[in-house]
Amino acid sequence: MSTKTNLPRIAITMGDPSGVGPEIIAKALQDQEVYHHCEPFVIGDAKRLEQAFAITNSSLTCKVITDVDEASFQYGEIDVMDLNLVSDSLPWGEVSAEAGNAAFHYLEKAIHLANKEEIQGICTAPLNKEALHKAGHMYPGHTEILAELTNTKDFAMMLAAPGLRVIHVTTHVGLIDAIHKITPERQYTVIKLAHETLQKAGISSPRIAVCGINPHAGENGLFGNGEEEEKIVPAVKKAQEEGIDVVGPLPADTLFFRARRGDFDIVVAQYHDQGHGPIKVLGLEAGVNITVGLPTIRTSVDHGTAFDIAGKNIADELSLKEAIRMAIDLAPRL
């Protein structure tokens, strides 16, 4: 039986059980330091995690729970909310409807707990979109499932690496489409999401900087067709009038350097590669994918299911450990 602490309670979903999720969870929770900063538990299949213990030569054991309050959160014995959805013989490294269905329901359970405010964060191991679709769950990925099941309309992708946070106005659309999708309304929404997310994480007045769209942020109309004045400036002014500490549009080619130096707490990027590039150059193992605007913070590894190495004790757990750390950092203060 768990006792009340001031540590955030983090649900770690197993993701696709045919991928590297079970292995990286086993390896990440081998680190006792995790338990010093949060109350972690796994939502998945206990027998699959036990198989991962054997593969990774781990001395950890599972404690099956049916309710969060049954968890002990003790190092060495991983609390597992066992949904018992996959067979013992489920192969590693293969796309299957069985695994895709399980991955969906692990996440669904975590969302249910979040909606009841029983957890402060969700950390997700990777799922496979093809397996998800084979199981009849027709979503592009985690974010869309999370948004629909929490009835969330305003959400955004944040990426984080040591010393740098980036939130995106647009993400997985082509560059020409992204320019069209950037509106003052969306811009303002993302600035507000950045502000509120960091406030909940304990930063009382987050310093926010907004990237321009064109080179040198348009340089007073020299580059582009006035996109900065049309799509960014109104949103920045509105947020400033509400007391939000935000500046921009600023030239992206120097802004990320300034943010990493410590001038800003978060950067608003206008499109996918503008925001992803600076994070990725800091190291793929250090990057964490975060969905903000949900009832609870959600973080994820910045890699896929890696079917080619699943079940072989090769997968690296560093991205998952960073994702857990970021969930802890961004979880509401208790």
pLDDT tens digits along 270-327: 999 999 999 888 876 667 888 888 888 899 987 889 999 999 999 999 989 999 998 9
Domain identity same for 179 and 76: no
The predicted pLDDT at position 332 comes to 75
Distance CA 124, CA 16 (A): 10
b/e burial code for range 110-145 (CB count within 10 A of at least 16 → b): bbebbeeeebbbbbbbbbbbebbebbebebebbbeb
Domain identity same for 201 and 112: no
Q: Is residue 287 part of a domain?
A: no
What is the CATH classification number for the domain harbouring 246? 3.40.718.10
The predicted pLDDT at position 228 comes to 93
How many domains does the chain fold into?
2
Distance CA 11, CA 295 (A): 14
Q: Is residue 285 part of a domain?
A: no
Q: What are the residue ranges of helices labelled H in 46-160?
A: 46-55, 97-115, 129-134, 142-149
| Encoded tokens for 316 | 């690296």
Taking 70 as the pLDDT cut, the residues of the chain under it are: 1-4, 284-286, 333-334
The predicted pLDDT at position 1 comes to 45
Q: What is the domain range of residue 204? A: 163-279
Distance CA 302, CA 203 (A): 25
Domain identity same for 241 and 320: no
User: Side-chain half-sphere of 124: how many Cα atoms within 13 Å?
Assistant: 31
Contact 135, 100 (CB under 8 A): yes
Amino acid at 201: A
Q: Is residue 288 part of a domain?
A: no
Domain identity same for 147 and 15: yes
Domain identity same for 170 and 240: yes
Q: Is residue 3 part of a domain?
A: no
pLDDT tens digits along 151-184: 999 999 999 888 999 999 998 889 999 999 999 9
**pTM as predicted:** 0.82
The predicted pLDDT at position 206 comes to 97
Domain identity same for 14 and 146: yes
Domain identity same for 26 and 143: yes
Contact 307, 229 (CB under 8 A): no
332: helix, strand or coil: coil
